[in-house]
Amino acid sequence: MPKFNKMYFPVDAIAKHEDFDVWYSDGERALRFEGPWEKESDRIAMIGRMGGQIGQIRPDNKALNYYLRHDRFEYEFQTRVIKEHYYIEGMLWDIHGSVSKPPVDFFQIKKKKNEVHVRKTLFKDHGECFEVTARDTATLRIAVEATVAMCIKEEYKGLSDPDEDERGGKKRGTFGKFFDFIQPKGVPYEKLYDEEGNPLG
């Protein structure tokens, strides 16, 4: 496989609350993420290999959804149900799963195929890392940015914004009954999971 269709970053990068590097498969640095790392609403800069900022993870005013800027473009990272279902507006990526239980695939709903695959693996001398693989190398950096956003959302146990079917339980029985009694636009983590991270229901 080509060098440029995979990138790696440490599994515990977000939990450390400090800046971290992202590497190509040969170990060369590809990206760096920098920010305060104090709260979910912090803006996180994506730095290119030459040192300039090429992107940003910018949570909205409730830290419900995030805006992912990459060069001149911006995409919306939507958390439908944290640790279960995410969506990337603009890329048409539908994501079912969690970085806490990889692998995770990004399904492109128009093309009807998986475009991105995320798994855990040991990488060189960096220990356990997420390996982000993209079918199209042009989408690899935004795929990494989206994976980092997912890690941030799950690290801070942030809000979810379930769609109508998920609120009503028409398709997803695990969480359905909770969404019958609560409003969208900001469902707290504690309404979905117990202290051990097991689904309520």
Three-state SS for 82-93 is CCCEEEEECCCE
- Residues 151, 194, single domain; the answer is no
Please check whether residues 187 and 113 belong to one and the same domain: no
Judge if 196 and 130 occupy the same domain: no
Residue span of the structural domain in which 137 resides: 3-155
Q: Based on the domain organization, do 76 and 9 belong to the same domain?
A: yes
Confidence tier at 156 by pLDDT (50, 70, 90): very high
Residues 79 and 144 placed together within one structural domain of the fold:
yes
Please tell me the predicted confidence (pLDDT) of residue 4. Answer: 83
Q: pTM (2 decimals)?
A: 0.89
Residues 181, 95 share a domain: no
Residue 177 CB neighbours (<10 A): 12
- Residue 170, pLDDT > 90, answer no
Q: Are residues 12 and 78 in the same domain?
A: yes
CB 130 within 8 A of CB 140: no
Q: Are residues 109 and 194 in the same domain?
A: no
Split into its structural domains, the chain has a count of: 2
Mean pLDDT for 189-201 is: 78
**pLDDT for 180 beyond 80:** no
pLDDT of 151 above 80: yes
* Residue 165's pLDDT band (cuts 50, 70, 90): low
Mean pLDDT over 141-169 rounds to 87
The dihedral of CA 20, 122, 75, 31: what is its sign?
positive
Q: Please provide residue 100's backbone torsions phi and psi, each rounded to the nearest 5 degrees.
A: -80, -15
123 and 170 share one domain: no
pLDDT of 76: 98
User: Pick from 119, 135, 155: which residue ends a domain?
Assistant: 155
Over residues 46-96, the pLDDT tens digits come to 999 988 999 999 999 999 999 999 989 999 999 999 999 999 999 999 999
Output the domain CATH number for residue 113: 2.40.160.200
The pLDDT score that the predictor gives to residue 164 is: 62
Distance CA 18, CA 25 (A): 22
One domain, residues 31 and 114: yes
> Are both 102 and 191 inside the same structural domain?
no
Do residue 26 and residue 110 come from a single domain?
A: yes
